Amino acid sequence: MKKLFQLFSLWLLFPLTAVAQDSVTISGKIRNFEKYKEDNIIQIYVKDIVLDNVILYGSKINPDGTFKISFPKDSPQHIFFRCILDYPISLLVNPGDKVFVSMDAKNAENSLEFSGDGAQTNKVLTPFYRKFTEYVGVNMTVFQSCRKDSSAAVFKKYRYNMLAEQTSFYNQFVKEYKTTPQFKQWAKYFLEYQCAADLMSYRWEHEPEIDPRSDYFDFFERFKLNNPEAAISTSYGEYLHDYGNHIMIKVILEGRNNAPAPDFHVLIDRVLDLAKNLSDEEKATLLKFRKNDSINLASKDTLIVKNVFEKNKGLLTISPPFDALTKTSGYLRDVLMANYLYHNIKNKQSDKIAYQMELFQKLVKDEKIKHKILAEYKAGLENLNHPSFAEGILKNLIEKYKGKVIYIDFWATWCGPCREEMPNSNKLHHELKDKDVVFLYLGNQSEEKKWKSLIAELNIQGEHYLLNNNEYNELAAKFKITGIPHYLLIDKQGRIRDEDAKFPGMPELKTDILALLNENI
């Protein structure tokens, strides 16, 4: 309780500066919708660069085919939304935009029309994305083979050549279509930072990984890391995400996790910069230590310094990875620190977060980023005192099947990939029928009649629950579910062992389940 009070007190020191958070509204009309009325969910996917997470917004399509959905957006960005038959629509939106979309359900791709804000930009974005996807798809097998089988130098050269070809494709497209300045800005960053993200992802494909100090990473100079304008493209966010991981791996390889304590003067500087409510005497004494050899100072001074350090010991133990992120600069530092803190908040890692939040408050310059993380921090503190609705749902389900391994499947009636996995799920269920395993299917965003009908039609074996929208949204937020199907594995003691478990059709899943069954409680 003392720790919770300290954390809450820290929050009071962080007043929220008012930051405008405009909303984007997307409305529209789907003609000939009556045949698809059971597929009545519209979903918006927004990749939030600050939270390093995909945020999902959902709403129902009315029986007459009309729909309307609003969501917060404080900067221009490329987003996706899906509606009937999982048809994805690509949009560029700006804060405050009101976009109208119309289509014919019988031929969505060729009947798509836009009006309202950004109409011309989105009108040209749709054919570009379709043609680009077709263009890239032709060479995808070669690309994947090169990334898997080639040396780092060969792959980098191949990817640079690929970028040159894609730029030529873009230049030809611009000659044929009436584009807009915002489309051109987005396309430039989309192509460049997709290349950068691909170059970063190469390292994860190979064992051993490339040393982060290698010359392979000289492309950091070519593809700017500090480029807030590029946040209009989700590729830039992917690039920064991998760069954050790159820094942390570099710290580990350099042995900083096992390094000796920081220089004494560095610790004094940190306390002087960040400690709250230092008395004038304490500040003066720290400055004396900072300037002089401690041997020549009075024992009283030493005692004062010792007491100050004891009161602020959290400032002296900031983790090396986080410390490394603070040494970056500009927008890059703001984003990487925000990413790190957001995930710590969500994972309830509160032992050092109070002091990390102080450093974040001091260093981050972007007020929108600061406001967003402080809001998440406040919500995180409240959740420490009040377990979420989602945790209550899950606790009740787990308690019912305690002593058994639980495989949870989040699915929906309109989700094609969900349905495709059901035969594999039934097969695995049959193979483990004599074991203490529960297959728990959590339907969501589906009408009850259709849900029950599909369970019978597909003969889905296991336990079934239909979540309402609030229940699903809470669970989706808790487990960072950005799309379905999504799976969890829970052991016999009710502990979540895998928040992103393997699909039923993957042989490794059976191995994972058997391993949990063989564990002693």
Query: What local confidence, expressed as pLDDT, does residue 140 receive?
Result: 84
Range of lowest pLDDT (118-132, 387-401, 503-517) = 387-401
Q: What is the pLDDT of residue 6?
A: 34
Is 50 exceeded by the pLDDT of residue 12? no
d(CA 123, CA 179) in angstroms, rounded, equals 9
Tell me which amino acid residue 111 is: S
Q: Which of 80, 69, 83 is nearest to 30 (CA)?
A: 83
pLDDT value at residue 474: 78
The domain ranges of the chain are: 23-117, 140-256, 264-383, 389-518
Q: How far apart are CA 91 and CA 427, in angstroms?
A: 40
pLDDT tens across 60-101, in order? Answer: 788 899 998 888 898 999 998 888 766 788 999 999 999 999
**Mean pLDDT of all residues in the chain?**
82
DSSP 428-487: HHHHTTTSSEEEEEEE-SS-HHHHHHHHHHHT--SEEEE--HHHHHHHHHHTT--SSSEE
Rounded Cα distance, 339 and 348, in Å? 14
Q: Which CATH architecture describes the domain 23-117?
A: Sandwich (2.60)
The pTM for the full model equals 0.67
Domain 389-518 matching CATH 3.40.50.2300: the answer reads no
Q: Over the stretch 331-390, which tens digit does the pLDDT of each residue have?
A: 999 999 999 898 878 766 555 677 788 889 989 999 999 999 988 888 766 655 555 555
Range name among 284-298, 342-356, 366-380, 428-442 with the lowest pLDDT average? 284-298
Rounded-to-integer distance, Cα 255 and Cα 483, Å? 37
Beta strand 41-48 pairing with 113-116 = unpaired
Mean pLDDT of 463-486: 82
CA distances to 11, 252, 315, 349, 446 from 343, rounded to whole Å, are: 18, 19, 20, 9, 30
* Portion of the chain with pLDDT greater than 70, in percent: 83
Distances (CA, A) of 219 to 153, 154, 197, 224, 460: 12, 14, 11, 9, 49
Q: Tell me the pLDDT band of 17, cut-offs 50, 70 and 90.
A: very low
Q: In 3D, which of 190, 186, 199, 236 has the Cα closest to residue 48?
A: 236
**Of 67, 4, 7, 13, nearest to 39 (Cα)?**
67
Most confident of 18-32, 38-52, 391-405: 38-52
What does the pLDDT average to over 313-333? Answer: 79
Question: Which of 162-176, 255-269, 455-469 ranks highest by mean pLDDT?
Answer: 162-176
pLDDT digits over 133-171, tens only? 888 877 788 888 898 889 999 999 999 999 999 999 999
Choice among 92-106, 289-303, 394-408 with the minimum mean pLDDT: 289-303
What is each CA distance from 452 to 411, 447, 463, in whole angstroms? 13, 9, 12
| pLDDT tier at 417, thresholds 50, 70, 90 | confident
Distance from the Cα of residue 102 to its chain's centroid:
30
pLDDT band at 1 (very low <50, low <70, confident <90, very high): very low
Ranking 107-111, 220-224, 395-399 by mean pLDDT, the lowest is 395-399
Helix ranges (H only) for 150-180 are 152-176
The residue-averaged pLDDT of 15-21 equals 41
pLDDT at 155: 95
Give the pair of three-digit tokens for residue 353.
Answer: 């977060």
Higher pLDDT, 199 or 88: 199
Lowest mean pLDDT among 9-13, 54-58, 369-373, 380-384: 9-13
